[in-house]
Chains A and B, each alone.
Chain A
Amino acid sequence: MTNKRIHIALWTGAIMIFAWAMPGFAQNARLELKNLEKLSSKASEVHDITLDGAMLQLASKFMNAADDPDAAEVKDILKDLKGIYVKNFEFDQPNQYSQADVQAIRAQLTGPGWQRIVESRSEHSREHDEIYVMKQGKAITGLAILVAEPTELTVVNIVGPIDINKLAALQGHFNIPGGDDSSDKKMKDQSTKPQLQKREAAHEPRDN
């Protein structure tokens, strides 16, 4: 075997190994939220939802989209998602969770691929809201919403292609018996339906 042939064989092998290993290098929009589980014991109300791709497919399969336009909208959002993970804790007293708990999540969002698109902080009400997206090209492939209030902590992690406008526009279309009343209340309190396209947002580079 000539040196040239050995060279070609080595390159072919290297390319094959790279191709095989590529998915492992792909950025994963799923966050590790296990560190928050300990808060369940302190919270007065907990919503802990873990839905992987298979469960989302199963949920979509049984949704009656033909007769219900709302269900069709929900089904459209769920269609290509690979996972939805929600941790929502409501506390009777403030200071039930530490900044370290939130920082552990935030640290993951400083990783490659993630980009903060909204941050709202209020020293007065001690609220800190953040929205992060993971993008591949122009497409959003992951979403993280981090809402830290004195008596409530919420982390929403959506994995897969998601249209934020569609998600925001879902307001008022839900009808779940025994659902999240506090969220409902807050949703009802809102007088206007937010439209991101209409928002006159200042463009500011990410501060982290």
Chain B
Amino acid sequence: MHFSEDDLRAALKRQDPGEGFAQRVMARVNQAESAPEKPPRRVWFLRLRPALVAVAAVLLLVIGLVVGYQQEQVAQQARARKAEQQAVLALRIANAKLNRVFERVNQRQTVPKVQRESL
């Protein structure tokens, strides 16, 4: 089937929306003007922003606590290691001096002033 450009022009001739269109538009204009202004709609990611901030804050807090706890554990282990070394060194000196005193007493074969019953 053939058609000319004029056929297309005729088919796509402007049509009027009918009486009252302008009035209906003006009614919507008036309605829009009298309606209280709506807050601007926020796009989904902006609506999500407070939640994201909260999640990020919680995440940071958890990471901070974990890192802090780990650092505290490391620091405590270092303190404990140092305390352990000091304690062993102290016992070593005590042990050496104790045995040295007893040794001297034995070597001199003097009358040692040991109150045996008190041990």
Main secondary structure of the interface of B (DSSP, over half): helix
Most A CB atoms within 10 A — which of B106, B115, B119? B119
Q: Which residues of A contact B88 (CB under 8 A)?
A: 74, 174, 176, 179
Main secondary structure of the interface of A (DSSP, over half): mixed
With an 8 A cutoff between CB atoms, is B81 at the interface?
Answer: yes
Q: Which residues of A contact B110 (CB under 8 A)?
A: 120
Q: Which residues of B contact A29 (CB under 8 A)?
A: none
Interface pair A51/B85, CB less than 8 Å apart: no
Interface pair A145/B89, CB less than 8 Å apart: no
Q: Which residues of A contact B92 (CB under 8 A)?
A: 170, 174, 176, 179-180, 183-184
Interface pair B100/A171, CB less than 8 Å apart: no
Residue on A with the closest CB to B84? A59
Q: Which residues of A contact B106 (CB under 8 A)?
A: 192, 194, 199
Interface pair B94/A167, CB less than 8 Å apart: yes
Count of chain A residues with Cβ under 8 Å from any Cβ of B?
64
With an 8 A cutoff between CB atoms, is B118 at the interface?
Answer: yes
Q: Nearest-CB distance from A87 to chain B (Å)? A: 10
Q: Which of A168-197 contact B (CB under 8 A)?
A: 168, 170-171, 174, 176, 179-180, 183-184, 186-187, 190, 192-194, 196
**Which of B81, B86, B113 makes the CB contact (< 8 A) with A118?**
B113
With an 8 A cutoff between CB atoms, is B108 at the interface?
Answer: yes
With an 8 A cutoff between CB atoms, is A105 at the interface?
Answer: no
Q: Which residues of B contact A39 (CB under 8 A)?
A: none
Count of chain B residues with Cβ under 8 Å from any Cβ of A?
40
Once A115-B115, A204-B113 are accepted as A-B contacts, the answer to whether A84 and B97 lie under 8 Å apart by CB is no
8 more contacts with CB within 8 A, not counting A47-B93, A115-B115, A196-B119, are A47-B89, A158-B94, A167-B94, A171-B99, A176-B85, A184-B92, A196-B114, A196-B116
What are 20 A-B interface contacts by the 8 Å CB criterion? A47-B93, A49-B89, A59-B84, A60-B87, A84-B87, A143-B94, A145-B97, A158-B94, A164-B119, A170-B92, A176-B88, A176-B92, A179-B92, A184-B92, A187-B96, A190-B100, A199-B102, A199-B112, A203-B115, A204-B113
Task: Please list the residues of chain A having a beta carbon within 8 angstroms of any beta carbon in chain B.
Answer: 47, 49, 51, 55-56, 58-63, 74, 77-78, 84-86, 88, 115-120, 122, 127, 129-131, 133, 135, 140, 143, 145, 147, 154, 156, 158, 164-165, 167-168, 170-171, 174, 176, 179-180, 183-184, 186-187, 190, 192-194, 196, 199, 201-204, 206-207
Task: Please list the residues of chain B having a beta carbon within 8 angstroms of any beta carbon in chain A.
Answer: 76-77, 79-81, 83-106, 108, 110-119
